[in-house]
Amino acid sequence: MQIRFEDVHKSYRRTDGTTIEALSGIDLVIGEGEFVAFVGPSGCGKSTLLLLTAGLVPPSAGRVVFEGPASGQPLTGFVFQEFALFHWRTILENVAFGLEVRGVPPASRDDRARELIRLVGLDGFEGRYPAELSGGMRQRVGIARALCVDPAVLLMDEPLSALDAQTRQLMQEEILGIWERTRKTVLYVTHNIQEAAFLADRIVVLSRRPGRVRAVLPVPFGRPRGEDLFADPGFGRFGQDVWRMIRDEARTAMREEA
C-alpha cells in the first residue's frame, strides 16, 4: 500500500481559544512495503502525522491518500508507545481482539491469533495475562495484535521508548525480523536516531513546530542488517548528520520561545 501526503496541515484549538499549528505543508510519498522512520525535535508533530494516517484525527487542510489494493483489509494497524493491553484478557484474547470486533468466528480468529503469536516468538504464552510478561514481551503482544487484522500499513509510535536499553536493542532486531517476513508498509516514529537508522529504508526529518519536512534521507546501509552495524563508523557518522539537523531545529525553537 502506497501513501501520499498532499499538502497536509493540522491545527488544534486550545481551550483558551488560540490555535496551535502542529503540521504545515507535508508533501510526501511512502512506497509500498517501505519502512520509513520519522524523527525531529519534541513537539514537531510526528505522532500527529500517524494519527492523521490512521484517520483518528482529520487534517485541517490537504489529504492523506492510500493507493493500492486493500482487498477488504483494514488500512492501518497501530502500535502505541504504551503497551495498551487489556489486563483482564489473556495474550490470545488480546491478540485476537481486532478480529473479534470485526465479527470473525472464534475458531478462525484464534487460529489467526496463534499464528501471529508464533510470528513474534511468544508461542506457549497464549494463556498468560499481560501482568505475567516482561515489557518487551508485552510490546510484542501489541505488535501481534496490530498485525492480526492484516493491515495494509503498520503505524508505530515510539513503541520501544518504555523499555530498558538492552531490551530495546533486542526488540529493534525483532521488529526488523517481523518486517522482513511480512513486508508491510511501516511508518515509525522515534526519538532514537540510531534506532531509525537501523530499521528504516528512509528517515524523514521534521522541522520544529509547525512540523515541515526538512529532509528525506535514504539510509545508506544494505539489508539484511544485524547488531554489527552499530560498530560501523559510517553508521555513527550518518547518525551525527541526522542529529545535527534535529539539534539545529531544537535550538531555533528554544530561541523563538525564549
Same domain for 102 and 30: no
pTM: 0.92
Nearest partner of 20 among 174, 209, 217, judged by Cα: 209
pLDDT of residue 252: 84
- CA 248, CA 110: separation in Å to the nearest integer? 49
User: Percent of the chain having pLDDT more than 70?
Assistant: 98
Residue owning grid cell 470473525:
104
Same domain for 223 and 110: no
Question: Does residue 81 surpass a pLDDT of 90?
Answer: no
pLDDT of residue 70: 66
pLDDT of residue 258: 60
Same domain for 156 and 68: yes
In a domain, 80, yes or no: no
pLDDT tens-digit profile of 117-149?
A: 999 989 999 999 999 999 889 999 999 999 999
Domain final residue pick, 150, 167, 186: 150
Question: Does residue 71 surpass a pLDDT of 70?
Answer: no
84 confidence band (pLDDT: 50, 70, 90): confident
Domain final residue pick, 150, 177, 192: 150
pLDDT of residue 76: 92
CATH of the domain at 62: 3.40.50.300
Residue 146, domain extent: 85-150
| Average pLDDT along the chain | 92
Which of residues 74 and 164 earns the better pLDDT score? 164
Question: Does residue 167 surpass a pLDDT of 90?
Answer: no
pLDDT tens-digit profile of 35-67?
A: 999 999 998 999 999 999 999 999 999 999 998
